[in-house]
Structure 1
Amino acid sequence: MTKRDFAFLLAPGAGAPSAHPRMQAFRRMLEPLGTVVPFDYAYAIEGKKSPDRLPRLIETHRAALAALRERHKGPIVLAGKSMGGRVGCHVALVEPVDAVICLGYPLCGSGDVSKLRDEVLVSLATPTLFVQGTKDRLCPLDLLDGVRQRMKAANALHVVEGGDHSSLVSKSELKARGVSQEHVDEEIRKAIARFLAVGKPVR
């Protein structure tokens, strides 16, 4: 597929609307791969701090997807930061899309390992890529590995060494490794490109 084929519907996390600097960084990360269309959930547009309940989040996400389909006839990928990725997974259960990219999947509700948000993942049939930091307390990699083994959908994992829930690495660690955050983000972009190119797990 060429760059012009793909359209990414980019969904924000609970505390970071589309205008947030990190969301803008994710947008720039995806732009070399295709058209990127960010959107915000209704509660954020209305100026509220607390997210809507899941049914309304899904409704807003599906409306944004329908609007994108009106002007883009090629393959569509649902990309989402944290909550946006989780809601995207729910949307993919009822809407045909080509792939889902979870940028920091919130597997553990409030960081509680006893509250796994895994039901939607094991129900998915859509190819899914997880981009996860090793220091993300909302998604311990050992727990995610167990979930991935139970998933029926083709799935892959890109690990961000030292990354937090936003795939950000501390300045001290970046310095120790002799790399920049831009380098880390470029590696994420490459992982996404590989995943979309092969359409099957990259392990």
Structure 2
Amino acid sequence: MKWFFNCISFVFHPIVMPLIAVVFYFHKSPRFIPEQWIDAKIISLFILTVLLPILIFYLLKTLGKANSIYLRTTKERILPLLVNIIIILLILYRVFPSHQIIELYYFFIGVLISNITALVLNIIKFKVSLHMVAISGVFMFFIGFALHFSKNINGTLALMSLITGTVATARLYLKAHTPRELFIGLLIGVIPQIIAENYWL
């Protein structure tokens, strides 16, 4: 079981969740978007949200500033969260500015607020579950997407509900977080997306 829950934690790591949300949007959106444009955006996002954080992690590990990709202590999380905030600002400025795809722009505004909140809590020595922050934010974005486009994605939402519960169970089983840290992480992921969705729903 430990192997299974480690795999769940790895597959649904916070760094991949924004990419999953964007791929989902492009796949399900009823709008016509040129395929080459989609490919360019996804490649840019993959480089910024997946490859760059991995490279930065290995740099931090080399410098002795991080021990695990799961960043188990609040001290380890501060610098990666700061870097992630800068990356999200870059995404908002260059990849998904407000005049292009409003839904994705405000999705990343919500992600930015979530990351800033998590950073502040880490600075005051309160560790929240970044897995729950990420996956619950994406889950809320999917719900907003369904409402916005009046699209039936009940199967996707049911799957996301199952995945969210499995991720929470994995983090508890691995003793990475307490129930309180998971619940606060859930709130930090969901509430900023609800606020952001008021501007595009």
Identify the structure with the greater helix proportion: 2
TM-score with structure 1 length normalisation?
0.30
TM-score with structure 2 length normalisation?
0.31
